[in-house]
A and B are shown apart, each in its own frame.
Chain A
C-alpha cells in the first residue's frame, strides 16, 4: 500500500496559474472527491497527481519519492489513471481493452502471457462485462464502455486509482454502481481520487472532499452548505447523513 502526497504544488500555463499551493495526502483506504466549478483546475490536479505533468512548484511524491524520479513503468504498476471522456481509437474487443491495463506488467514482446487470463476474467466479471468480452468496444453502450474503462483501470490491482469525472454521462443507476465499485476498492485498502460534478454522489461515497476554486484549495473535509456557497457561489442545502446525504441547490 502506498501514500501519495502533493506538497504545495503549482502549475502554470503561459502566464496563467492553473494551480497554486495545492496540498493533499492520500493513503490506504482514502476515497477523495475533488470538486469545484469548471476551470477550477480539477483535471490539472489529477494529471499532476498521476505524474503526467510535472508541477512548476512543489512536488508530488509516492511513498516519499518524487514522481518524476520513479521509472514510468514502476509508477504505472502502482497507480492507474483514467482521463475525462476516455477513448479507444480502434475497435478492440472488450477483453483486449481491459488487458491494456496490464501493459506495465507485460514483457516487451510477444502475446499476452496466460498467467494474466485470471485477472482479466475477474475484472470483466466484476464489471458485468463477461457477455460483452468479445464485442468491439466501439459498439458498447456508454455505460458499458465506461465500465470497461474502469475495469481496464482496476485490472492490474493498482494501489492508487485516479479518475477524472468517472460518472459524467452515465444514467443514475450506472453512476451509483460506478461509485459503489470505487468505494468497494477503497474498502480493500486502496486509494481512490476522483473528480466529480455530482455533489450528492461525492458526499455519499467519498470519505473526504477537496474543493478547488480558481486553482486553490477552497475547503477540505466534509461537504457543507457553507463550502458549496464558498466554492460555487450558490446557496445549497445538505440534508441527511452517511449513505442518505443529499445536496439540493436552492434557486435564487
Chain B
C-alpha cells in the first residue's frame, strides 16, 4: 500500500507542475521561476494555481467518499451521487442562481450548495435509518430523484434565458475561472469531512463480513453511517457547490486502487483519495487542451470518459455473479 500511495503522490507532483504550464498560453518552467515575467507569474498564481489546487481538493474528496460509500454499502457501483449528496448540492446552488442570490454575494452559491447537500443527506439518513444498507441506498435514490426534479423545475421556470444558461453551465461542471476565494471557502469543509471519512476504515473492514458480524466485532453501525454520510455531505457538498456536478471520479478511483491493496476497504481509502485527485487533475488538463470551439466542460469530459468504465463494471459484474 505504501508503495502505491508514494507512487501516486509522485505522479501528482509531476502532473501538478504540468498543470501550471498547460493552458491557452503554454509557459516554460523558466518563465515561471525566473520572476522577470510579471504576466506569467500572474497567470500562474492567480489562475492556474488555484485551479490546480481545487482539482486536487475536489478529486480527493470525490475519491475518498467514493471509497467509503462503496465500503459502507458493499456495492461496487456506489458513489457520492448515490446518497443524493451531489444532486442535493446542485439543487442548493441552482436555487441560489435562480433567485439571483449569487448577485448579492459570490459565496451564496457554495453556501447554499453545502446546505443542499446536508439537507439531502439528512433526508436520506432519516428515511433510510434502521432499515439497513439497502434501505439507505433506496432512500438515496429517492432523494436524488426529488432533488433532480427540483433542478428541472428551476430550469423550467428560469426567470430569463441568462439564468437558464448559467444553471446549465454550472450543472455541466467546471474548474474554469475559479480563484483562491473558492479554494479557501471549501478547504475547511473538505478537511473536516475528509477527516470524518478517514476514521471509518476499521469499521468498513469489519463490515466486509456483513452487518451482524460487524456489530458483533464491536462496530457501532449508527456511528459509522453518520461519519460516512456527514463526511460525504461536507466534503462532496462543498466540492460540488463550487465546481458543479463532476461524475465518475468517485466511482472510478476506488476501483483502480482496489486490486492493488487486496480489496481491503480500509487500505483503499488513501490510494483512492490520491487517485481521485490525480484523475481530476489529468482530466482538467485534458479539458483545457482539447479545443473544439467552446470550452469543453470538465464534468462532461469525466462523464464521457467515465461511462465506458461503468459499462465495463456492469458487464464484469454480470460475468462474475452466478
A residues with CB within 8 A of B: 47, 50-52, 72-77, 79-83, 86-93, 96-97, 100-101, 103-104, 106, 108-109, 111, 136, 152
Contact = CB atoms under 8 A, between A and B. Distances in A.
A104 B217 contact: yes
24 contacts: A50-B216, A72-B218, A76-B216, A80-B216, A81-B216, A82-B213, A86-B210, A87-B209, A87-B210, A89-B74, A89-B209, A90-B263, A90-B265, A91-B263, A93-B262, A97-B209, A100-B217, A101-B217, A103-B202, A108-B202, A109-B198, A109-B201, A109-B202, A111-B1
Contacts, number: 77
B264 interface: yes
B216 A52 contact: yes
Contacts of B218: 72-77, 103-104
B208 interface: yes
B220 interface: yes
Interface in B188-231: 198-199, 201-202, 205-210, 212-213, 215-220
B38 to A, nearest CB: 46
Query: Which of A72, A97, A101, A103 neighbours the largest number of chain B CB atoms within 10 Å of its CB?
Result: A103
Pairs A-B, 3 closest by C-beta atoms: A76-B218, A81-B216, A104-B218
Given A92-B264, A103-B217, A83 B210 contact: yes
Contacts of B212: 47, 52, 81, 83
A72 B215 CA distance: 8
B219 A72 contact: yes
B216 A88 contact: no
B217 A92 contact: no
Given A72-B215, A90-B263, 16 more contacts: A47-B212, A50-B216, A72-B220, A76-B218, A79-B216, A82-B213, A83-B213, A88-B209, A89-B208, A90-B264, A90-B265, A100-B209, A100-B217, A103-B202, A109-B198, A109-B201
Interface of B: 1, 74, 198-199, 201-202, 205-210, 212-213, 215-220, 262-265
A103 B265 CA distance: 14
A42 to B, nearest CB: 15
Contact of A103 (B199, B206, B262): B206
Contacts of B217: 76, 100-101, 103-104
Given A72-B218, A72-B219, A90-B208, A96 B262 contact: yes
A81 B206 CA distance: 13
A47 B1 CA distance: 36
Contacts of B207: 89
A109 B210 contact: no
Contacts of A104: 217-218
Contacts of A89: 74, 207-210
B134 to A, nearest CB: 13
Given A52-B212, A80-B216, A88-B209, A106 B202 contact: yes
Nearest to A164: B212
A100 B219 contact: no
Query: Which of A81, A100, A106 neighbours the largest number of chain B CB atoms within 10 Å of its CB?
Result: A100
A101 B217 CA distance: 7
A79 B215 CA distance: 12
A45 B218 CA distance: 19
Nearest to A90: B263
A145 B45 CA distance: 57
Contact of B263 (A87, A92, A108): A92
A103 B220 CA distance: 12
Contacts of A47: 212
B262 A92 contact: yes
Nearest to B198: A109
B213 to A, nearest CB: 6
Given A81-B216, A83-B212, A90-B74, A103 B205 contact: yes
Contacts of B213: 81-83, 86
A111 B5 CA distance: 14
Nearest to A52: B215
Contacts of B209: 86-89, 97, 100, 152
Contacts of A73: 218
